[in-house]
Amino acid sequence: MSDHKQNFIGGTWVAGEATPNINPSNTADIIGHYARADAAQARDAIDAAKAAFPAWSRSAPLERHGILRRASDEILARKDELGQLLSREEGKTLAEGIGETVRAAQIFDFFAGETLRLAGETVPSVRPGVGVEVTREAVGVVGVITPWNFPIAIPAWKLAPALCYGNTVVFKPAELVPGCAWALVDILQRAGLPEGVLNLVMGQGSVVGQVIVQSVDVDALTFTGSQPTGAALALESAKLMRKSQMEMGGKNPFIVLADADLDVAVDCVTQGAYFSTGQRCTASSRIIVEDAIHDKFVAALSERINALSVGDALDPATQIGPVVDASQLAQNEDYIQIGQAEGARLLTGGERLSRATEGFFQRPALFTDCTNDMRIAREEIFGPVAAVIRVADYDAALEVANDTHFGLSAGIATTSLKFATHFKRNAEAGMVMVNLPTAGVDFHVPFGGRKASSFGPREQGRYAAEFYTTVKTAYTLA
């Protein structure tokens, strides 16, 4: 089969059971067939990464710089083609797909630079004649397990720092989006990675993922995905005393105060709750609105939502692409029913839409009259569904915002410096947004959350070094 894309193990492309990659905007469109690795191949990939580690971890920074730089250049040069592949396999709009691809290029560019900025500390010892050096070293073999919602950016923000600091990698992308993962590995290997440094094992979490998670030869595990899976994998890692980093869900609040600029507030919620079809861990799903602006805000927001065009991700007129697959759509529909059964009012949306092609289209949904103890306000839905909670004032809004077991991102729309400052200091979240959507972050600063949202060191920017390196303290008497 000419379009059968293989796994990459120890510098060689390796065949496996061919699995179709289906376009959620048009289920008749098969993007390609991708090999599913088996457990033995996953073990081969770990062995290859282990064998490659000694040489790669001692490679010259300029070698790693060149590889990451070339990868960045190629991703950027092919942004339209890769962005289209992304939108075709995941369903976000073409503009979002191309934007995410550019982001991946920027991340490789950033970490290309970081290879040349490796530095430690030299400090005097408390003892005479002794010098102390504090340096960072690569950790070893890194297991990289990624979700489907950012098919190129999340792999980029894990692979780039892993390789930058001299680690070797076993990479298992999500089953639904092998296309971007395969393209990224193809680019990196042609950019000059020695064999075994980066290994791609596409396939199932319960098979390939489990081999990675249970291997004593995997020295660090980085995961992004659902909360229950992340929590389970963190426990499995702890049993092996292995370093792990988990990015999981969110139930991100966005507060609208009475003094907010209405257009800004509506913009933030439209983008934060519904763009990328609501399939972002940083999506705003609890909209906490001060009584005095509630009715005006809800009317303006629902008008905006109803005007959004939902359709084929590749149609330039589309603003909201399809849901990623049938089971996610069924889950979203379940939550629409759950919300209504709990007494929330479905103000608009939620229904399945038919389009020219068979796909998973759903109208963005807005609930009002919600309370923070409803399941639609507590559980991550991961779809285009938001719940409005009416509150009396800022203090009540802050209390509701923090009353969740998640803590990834939190936003507020206000023109008051006093409330903005108080919120930045008191929101229990890893990322706080003032007059900006909860989703949409920079690539050179830390990304991550608190409570059940995240475990382990932050990702991205220079903070990535915390996870992808280990510290050594060397003493010399001379």
Query: Which of 236, 358 has the CB closer to ligand ADP?
Result: 236
Contact (Cβ atoms closer than 8 angstroms) between residue 43 and residue 215:
yes
Q: Rg for the chain (alpha carbons), in Å?
A: 23
Contact (Cβ atoms closer than 8 angstroms) between residue 443 and residue 457:
no
Closest distance to ligand ADP from the beta carbon of 230 (Å): 6
Contact (Cβ atoms closer than 8 angstroms) between residue 197 and residue 163:
yes
Under the criterion CB under 6 A, does residue 225 sit at the interface with ligand ADP?
yes
Under the criterion CB under 6 A, does residue 205 sit at the interface with ligand ADP?
yes
The helix/strand/coil state of 462 is: helix
Region of 109-117, 208-216, 312-320, 424-432 interacting with ligand ADP (CB under 6 A): 208-216
Region of 177-185, 224-232, 411-419, 447-455 interacting with ligand ADP (CB under 6 A): 224-232
Query: Which of 228, 343 has the CB closer to ligand ADP?
Result: 228
Q: Is the dihedral of CA 210, 216, 218, 223 positive or negative?
A: positive
Neighbours of 297 (CB within 10 A): 22
Closest distance to ligand ADP from the beta carbon of 384 (Å): 15
Contact (Cβ atoms closer than 8 angstroms) between residue 25 and residue 90:
no
Closest distance to ligand ADP from the beta carbon of 145 (Å): 5
Catalytic residue among 164, 180, 268, 281: 281
Residues 352-381 that bind ligand ADP (CB under 6 A): none
Query: Which of 192, 205 has the CB closer to ligand ADP?
Result: 205
What are 386-389's contacts with CB under 8 Å, separation 24+? 386/269, 386/273, 386/274, 386/278, 386/284, 386/285, 386/286, 386/287, 387/285, 387/286, 387/287, 387/339, 387/344, 388/287, 388/288, 388/289, 388/294, 388/298, 388/347, 389/286, 389/287, 389/288, 389/289
Number of residues that bind ligand ADP (CB under 6 A): 16
Query: Which of 161, 173 has the CB closer to ligand ADP?
Result: 173
Q: Is 236 a catalytic residue?
A: no
Q: Which of 173, 163, 200, 162 is nearest to 67 (CA)?
A: 163
Closest distance to ligand ADP from the beta carbon of 73 (Å): 28
Query: Which of 146, 168 has the CB closer to ligand ADP?
Result: 146
Query: Which of 27, 229 has the CB closer to ligand ADP?
Result: 229
Q: Which of 78, 153, 75, 61 is nearest to 112 (CA)?
A: 61
Closest distance to ligand ADP from the beta carbon of 229 (Å): 3
Nearest-angstrom CA–CA distance, 16 and 40: 11
Query: Which of 160, 202 has the CB closer to ligand ADP?
Result: 202
Catalytic residue among 247, 290, 333, 466: 247
Binding mask 141-180 for ligand ADP (x = CB under 6 A): ----xxxx-----------------------x-xx-----
Query: Which of 5, 172 has the CB closer to ligand ADP?
Result: 172
Q: CB-side exposure of 403: number of CA atoms within 13 Å?
A: 14
Exactly one of 210, 271, 319, 340 binds ligand ADP (CB under 6 A); that residue is 210
Q: Is 164 a catalytic residue?
A: no
DSSP 90-130: H---HHHHHHHHHHHHHHHHHHHHHHTT---EEEE-SSTTE
Region of 5-13, 100-108, 225-233, 468-476 interacting with ligand ADP (CB under 6 A): 225-233
Neighbours of 61 (CB within 10 A): 16
Closest distance to ligand ADP from the beta carbon of 162 (Å): 16
Exactly one of 1, 119, 126, 206 binds ligand ADP (CB under 6 A); that residue is 206
DSSP state of 350: -
Closest distance to ligand ADP from the beta carbon of 218 (Å): 11
Exactly one of 22, 45, 94, 213 binds ligand ADP (CB under 6 A); that residue is 213
Nearest-angstrom CA–CA distance, 331 and 132: 56
Region of 56-64, 201-209, 366-374, 426-434 interacting with ligand ADP (CB under 6 A): 201-209
Exactly one of 209, 278, 321, 322 binds ligand ADP (CB under 6 A); that residue is 209
Closest distance to ligand ADP from the beta carbon of 334 (Å): 15
Cα angle 440, 445, 448; round to 5: 70
Under the criterion CB under 6 A, does residue 349 sit at the interface with ligand ADP?
no
Which residues, other chains included, contact 330 with Cβ-Cβ below 8 Å and sequence gap of 6+? none
Query: Which of 151, 166 has the CB closer to ligand ADP?
Result: 151
Closest distance to ligand ADP from the beta carbon of 206 (Å): 5
Nearest-angstrom CA–CA distance, 94 and 459: 26
Which residues, other chains included, contact 97 with Cβ-Cβ below 8 Å and sequence gap of 6+? 83, 84, 85, 86, 87, 90, 313
Q: Which residues sit at the interface with ligand ADP, rule CB under 6 A?
A: 145-148, 172, 174-175, 205-206, 209-210, 213, 225-226, 229, 233
Q: Which residues are catalytic?
A: 247, 281
